[in-house]
Amino acid sequence: MKAEDPLARSSIDVVNPATEQVVTEVELLGEAETDAAIERAVKAGPAWRAVAPGDRARLLARFADAVDADLEHLARLEVTNSGHTLGNARWEAGNVRDVLRYFSGAPERLFGKQIPVAGGLNVTFREPLGVVGIIVPWNFPMPIASWGFAPALAAGNTVVLKPAELTPLTALRLAELARSAGIPEDVFQVLPGRGSVVGQRFVTHPAVRKLVFTGSTTVGKQVMAGCAEQVKRVTLELGGKSANIVFADSDLEKAAATAPYGVFDNAGQDCCARSRILVQRGVYDKFLELLEPAVRGVRVQDPSTEDSEMGPLISATQRDRVASYVDPDRIAFQGTCPSGSGFWYPPTVLLPVDSQDRAWREEVFGPVVSVLPFEDEADAVRLANDTEYGLSGSIWTRDVGRALRVSRAVEAGNLSVNSHSSVRFWTPFGGFKQSGLGRELGPDALDGFTEVKNVFVATEE
């Protein structure tokens, strides 16, 4: 019997990564169905754009309320679909609610400018782009979706959104909640499908005026190249290999205690993961002594339990990929994880030979962290910047001047001092270098979903 080609299937099994059990089956859209959805979004555009700013704001606020009322259901759906811990999933659903509430204030604040000119009046307007295509990854399906659709809808665009094949369930639920809040079905559509079909059609269809893509740098380059054919606007949030820089004058106990949560959150499947720890040589050995119990103490267990701190990886394929980076001779110590069913991998600390080590340079996207010593401030900055990525990072020091100097010198879009915070919905998020283009969240996010139109009105006779 000839083996079935999985790419030829018109549906996909959604698997619980903690149990390897099939949760449900989701139908996948083809190119014709994708084209039909895009055309519906085009037709819905003029009416949505014409909705008064205050009314659009109220609809988005109602959408936020619907998410809030469904928060526990959304969270448990994400635990089942993505293997996220219950605590993380509750935060993620709450982030969707908060992002919607934040951008519900935007329609009435889409300000243009009056620019002084001779002979008349000059004003600018911010106009919606049209149809916005959003391609969402599997690692944070809920929040990353909302970072695109909330500002896009607020600015008067219609949205077609493709969730990752592995994790479509919360996106489909969000579409239901949007409709229950009064947002027209054709204004916000979720289209499950393969990236090579639905995602590629977002790139090539001329009616899709902007693409928002979050995923690997390799695929992001392909998306960018495709969008260039039509001079299509694009926002890219891509890979990362963030540094956690620990200076000798820092609160070493706190730096070591929090380091695991800066990289092992979501099982390390996070573009902002601080997967390179740089420690000043004078405290390097002491830091490792403090780090070991912190790593061994990470609770890797059934993600549906209240006190779970790390769940499984998303798939067997991802587990094999992560394992390929781990040289047994370089393991300093590991945590524990369940055995049996589920795509589990233990928190792992590596001591690379040097900064050319593969696990040090490449994005592992799993619960693996490498630790290297540095000599002084200049050496720390050199090592931190020795990467094609530039998304996030942390700096641990009690010296305010050093904190500011190093923050300005490190080539990354989101840095935190004495913490591992990367995302706040009211501040910009995005990367330097090959970590992406554009900024999401914060007060300037709508700039990426609008065109600036300049109008001059002559007043001289």
Question: HSE on the CB side for 74, CA within 13 Å?
Answer: 29
Q: ∠ CA(82), CA(213), CA(149), 5° rounding?
A: 80
Residue 328 burial (C-beta neighbours within 10 Å; 0-12, 13-18, 19+) = exposed
The 8-class DSSP code of residue 300 comes to: B
Cα separation of 127 and 26, whole Å?
Answer: 36
The 8-class DSSP code of residue 4 comes to: P
Spot the catalytic one: 92, 227, 271, 337. 271
Cα separation of 4 and 195, whole Å?
Answer: 19
CB 214, CB 100: distance < 8 Å: no
**Is residue 237 annotated as part of the catalytic site, yes or no?**
yes
358 three-class SS: helix
Cα separation of 351 and 326, whole Å?
Answer: 10
What is each CA distance from 456 to 11, 113, 119, 123, 283, in whole angstroms? Answer: 53, 12, 9, 7, 63
Q: What are residue 374's phi and psi, to 5 degrees?
A: -130, 165
**Is residue 272 annotated as part of the catalytic site, yes or no?**
no
Residue 242 burial (C-beta neighbours within 10 Å; 0-12, 13-18, 19+) = buried
Q: How far is CA 273 from the centre of its chain?
A: 11
Q: In what order do the strands lie in the sheet with 120-128?
A: 114-115, 120-128, 450-458
Dihedral, 31, 36, 40, 41 alpha carbons, nearest 10: 10
Placement of tokens 């495709």 in the chain: 226
CB 60, CB 104: distance < 8 Å: yes
38 three-class SS: helix
Q: How far is CA 285 from the centre of its chain?
A: 34
Give the list of residues 6+ apart from residue 46 with CB closer than 8 angstroms, or none: none
148 three-class SS: helix
What letter represents residue 83's amino acid?
G
CB 342, CB 312: distance < 8 Å: yes
Sign of CA dihedral 163, 168, 174, 178: positive
Q: Among all residues, which ones are annotated catalytic? A: 237, 271
